[in-house]
A and B are shown apart, each in its own frame.
Chain A
Amino acid sequence: MTKRSPSTEYTRDLELLLTEVSELLAATEENLVALEKAPNDASIIQEVFRVMHTVKGGAATLGLKEAVEVSHSMENLLDEVRSGTRSLTTPLMDALFSVVDYLKEWRSALSERKDPPSPDAVLETIHGLQDGGGAPETAGTASETSLPGPLLQRIDSALREGRSVHRMVVSFQADVPLLSVRCFQILTLVEEAVEVLGSVPSVEELENDQVKDVLEIYLVSDDDGEDIKTVARANQDVRDVVISKYQSRGQKSAEAARGKDPGETAAVKRSDLGKTVRVDVGLLDFLMNMVGELVIDRTRLSQIASQLMRESEMSGIGNEVSGLASHLQRTSTELQEGIMQARLLPLKSIFSKFPRMMRDLSQRCGKEVTFEVWGESTELDRTVLEAIDDPLIHILRNAVDHGIEMPEDRIAKGKDRKGHVKLSAWHEENQILVRVEDDGAGVDAEMVKRSAVKKGVITEEQAQKMSEKEAVAMIFLPGFSTVEVATEVSGRGVGMDVARTNLERVNGQIEVKTKVGAGTQITLRLPLTLAIMRALLVKCGQNVFAIPTSSVEEVFSMGGLTVRSIQGKPAMNVRGRVVPLISLEGALNNSMWALNGQKYALLTRTNDQTLALGVDDLIGEEEIVVKEMGRLLSRLKGIAGATILAQGDPAIILDVTRVI
């Protein structure tokens, strides 16, 4: 690891760290929520501790002291919990959550290349706890001869649990530069593989560059530790690794009590990487675009084939080309499906933040809520995931804020004091269903009607005629909210109408079932995969058109470019190439030369000829979902389909290569 170009290497390391930290924090958040439910689960505390340790280690190697301080203080707290000197109180849990929050902010600040936020507030909270809680700060300044107190305690408690502790001694080559960093690397590697109880020198000492010739690591392992030995030996700076079983008082008796499998813990482990690779979304998009081009070529090929077949002397070749076209069709379809598969992500990527959110929400509303999540490994296209993220947040907020009643009210109604919200997802036929159920108050159709009348959405008579189902469906109307006063929790941001629009854009549906007093069930029906493409949205006259980016070579502003005339027809000079300039709007209305001050031009290719298409305005580039328009409009030349824009309006997708 010679630092030839420190800045780029540092950036790369930082990026790796930040990606890792983001995963670690997500896992930690889940673990904390789990811990709150099962405060005595040592394995979770251990896992959180381990993660904080990794964060601290990573941050320390890159000299990011804010994160080191904060994760270190969290480690201390957890250590006290683990050793039993401190119990898991709500303020303590809050403090732990605030550390995670801080680290998230810290992470996003760094990933945007900004200065990290100040950790003072978080540290103050933690120190406040430590002062008030009265737990003594056990500093790691233990004597050199024996093991430091906290480490000894950890080893003892592991042994008491009947786990086998090993002592691993790593010695280094002479004159290793940056020995503390090497030690750190080894320690991190070992930690990835097994549970580490502590080391001499300790992490703190390593951070302060206090190193010795050897690094002793105390770890828990059920086998003889050969694997870990190999891991550590792989580092070229390591001279030797010796592993021996750690013996102590009471070891014999402890061994008899052994039998618990440390692998089967409830904690979220991060080691199940599987056979996967990380792929940049940009690359997937690129592949999608390429497939898009392939599809266009395929269409051209079939057209040529049918033209050839019409001419009798060419029909032989025509048949061959047609066969080729249909083969190309199969291959490109499969290719497209393959890429769509690669875009699938487990729902976990959006579900993982909900337990925490629900905890905070119920606390803020003064309600007691148990939250259950099922089927988070169900996979969906990332565009669909993005589209349902906000709606789900909104629906879950509603469930807590409007659905679940206050504890007293629930008891008065003969319900369990604690409300129950369940988020589940599963695969059904060719759809994915995501459902949010609560056992709260339900939606009162009468109340919805009254509110709708008041807002002038419907008249009094209409309200009377309306069925309960129709009334409940009105919550999806724009700007509709039955809550008179917007609460801090749910009366803002997206409403149910936006949720519905979001879903419709990705071919999804939303359904509500509700029963007054018994609860509400909201189901999202989502497509397994979608026909998605990236498209440029342009404005021509009153209309917005979507143009697949794969068919646009270049976009330029017309300002500063002179339009000339060749044989009475407009043309322009694009870097030495003379390109006919036509109006897109005109072309669609069969008067393609009618230019009237278009601001932008798109360079495209049709029948091997480059063309500039004038458009009034550019709106942007977006990922759009291709929708069928039905047989009635399926054969229009140059019109590839339709999509639904973010505002909910439909828009036509143009195949600009066939517009002329």
Chain B
Amino acid sequence: MASDEADSYEVESSASGERQIVAFSLGTETYGVDIASVREIIPIQRIVSVPRAPSFIEGIINLRGRVIPVLDLRKHFGFEQKKGDPNQRIVLVEAGSESIGVIVDAVSSVLRIPDDSVEAPASVIVGPEIEYINGIAKIDKDLVVLLDLTKIISDAEKKTLKETDLRSAVVQ
């Protein structure tokens, strides 16, 4: 089973049969995203809230002259809020032509994960979150949830459209 899954990921993995991920923590869990989609990691800076934006969008930041929306993963996953923690970081992710910041509790490290340690999410998790998960990696005793941020962002976009359309309809 495990080896079958590994095969299906071979397209994205490097020749040596492993992938590199940026690991970060959110609550008590460790998550990881493909290093190729991470542009940079920056400390929390002033985030200006955007009126009428969906609630999981924390606001916008000025990143060297570019205005970038920032998404709060805690809010997105329905975790409780956490503010003012100096370990919090914004992980800047490229999704398509868009750049989006994602607030995480702390960035731990860059991990090399052998492909054969990745399992399909279905074997561990059930629930609506599952569609955002590429797989679960087992490293020593820890589990790292491999997130599909691109999917999260494109869904966020759809949600934004729905919410704003709804709101316009209500107001008009």
A310 to B61, CA, bound (A): 38
A630-B68 in contact (CB<8A): yes
Task: Mark each residue of chain A from 293 to 335: 1 if its CB lies under 8 Å from any CB of chain B, else 0.
Answer: 0000000000000000000000000000000000000000000
Interface residues on A, range: 20 to 34
Q: Is the contact region of chain B dominated by helix, strand, or loop, or is it mixed?
A: mixed
B67-A629 in contact (CB<8A): yes
A507 to B53, CA, bound (A): 24
Task: Mark each residue of chain A from 633 to 660: 1 if its CB lies under 8 Å from any CB of chain B, else 0.
Answer: 1011111001110001111100000001
The A547-601 residues at the B interface (CB cut-off 8 A) are 588-590
A589 to B53, CA, bound (A): 10
A649 to B67, CA, bound (A): 10
B152 → chain A closest CB, angstroms: 11
Q: Is the contact region of chain A dominated by helix, strand, or loop, or is it mixed?
A: mixed
Q: Is B167 an interface residue (CB 8 A)?
A: yes
The B36-65 residues at the A interface (CB cut-off 8 A) are 46, 48-53, 57, 60-62, 64-65
A507 to B62, CA, bound (A): 11
The residue of chain A having its C-beta at the shortest distance from the C-beta of B65 within the complex is A504
The B114-162 residues at the A interface (CB cut-off 8 A) are 153, 156-157, 160-161
Q: Is B83 an interface residue (CB 8 A)?
A: no
A539 → chain B closest CB, angstroms: 12
A588 to B51, CA, bound (A): 6
Q: Is A431 an interface residue (CB 8 A)?
A: no
Q: Which of A629, A630, A636 sits near B52, CB closer than 8 Å?
A: A636
Q: Is A424 an interface residue (CB 8 A)?
A: no
A638 to B100, CA, bound (A): 22
Q: Which residues of A have CB within 8 Å of B51? A: 543, 588-589, 636, 638-639, 652
Q: Is B168 an interface residue (CB 8 A)?
A: yes
The residue of chain B having its C-beta at the shortest distance from the C-beta of A500 within the complex is B64
Asked whether A507 and B65 contact (CB < 8 A) given A638-B52, A639-B51, A642-B60, the answer is: yes
The A510-562 residues at the B interface (CB cut-off 8 A) are 542-543
Q: Is B164 an interface residue (CB 8 A)?
A: yes
B128 → chain A closest CB, angstroms: 20
The residue of chain B having its C-beta at the shortest distance from the C-beta of A660 within the complex is B171
A504 to B66, CA, bound (A): 8
Q: Is A101 an interface residue (CB 8 A)?
A: no
A543-B164 in contact (CB<8A): no
Interface residues on B, range: 20 to 34
Asked whether A652 and B48 contact (CB < 8 A) given A505-B65, A628-B67, A637-B171, the answer is: yes
Q: Which residues of B have CB within 8 Å of A503? A: 65
Q: Which of B48, B53, B66, B160 sits near A627, CB closer than 8 Å?
A: B66
Q: Which residues of A have CB within 8 Å of B85? A: none
Q: Which of A629, A635, A649, A650 sits near B164, CB closer than 8 Å?
A: A635
A630-B100 in contact (CB<8A): yes
Q: Is A485 an interface residue (CB 8 A)?
A: no
Q: Which residues of A have CB within 8 Å of B168? A: 637
A24 to B33, CA, bound (A): 62
Q: Which residues of A have CB within 8 Å of B52? A: 588, 636-639
Most buried by A among B49, B50, B100, B168: B50
Q: Is A139 an interface residue (CB 8 A)?
A: no
A530 to B127, CA, bound (A): 47
B164-A636 in contact (CB<8A): yes
Q: Which of A500, A505, A632, A639 sits near B98, CB closer than 8 Å?
A: A632
Q: Is B32 an interface residue (CB 8 A)?
A: no
A655 → chain B closest CB, angstroms: 12
A543 to B60, CA, bound (A): 12
A542 to B48, CA, bound (A): 9
A632-B69 in contact (CB<8A): yes
The A15-51 residues at the B interface (CB cut-off 8 A) are none
Q: Which residues of A have CB within 8 Å of B157? A: 631-632
A633-B65 in contact (CB<8A): no
Task: Mark each residue of chain B from 61 to 98: 1 if its CB lies under 8 Å from any CB of chain A, else 0.
Answer: 11011111100000000000000000000000000001
A329 → chain B closest CB, angstroms: 22
A630-B62 in contact (CB<8A): no
B51 → chain A closest CB, angstroms: 4
A649-B100 in contact (CB<8A): no
Q: Is A391 an interface residue (CB 8 A)?
A: no
B53-A509 in contact (CB<8A): no
20 more contacts with CB within 8 A, not counting A504-B64, A632-B156, A636-B50, are A508-B65, A588-B52, A630-B98, A630-B100, A631-B98, A632-B57, A632-B69, A632-B153, A632-B157, A632-B160, A633-B160, A636-B52, A637-B171, A638-B51, A638-B52, A642-B60, A644-B65, A649-B46, A652-B48, A652-B51
Q: Which 4 A-B pairs have the closest CB atoms?
A: A504-B65, A588-B51, A642-B67, A627-B67
Partner-B contacts on A (CB < 8 A): 500, 503-505, 507-509, 542-543, 588-590, 627-633, 635-639, 642-644, 648-652, 660
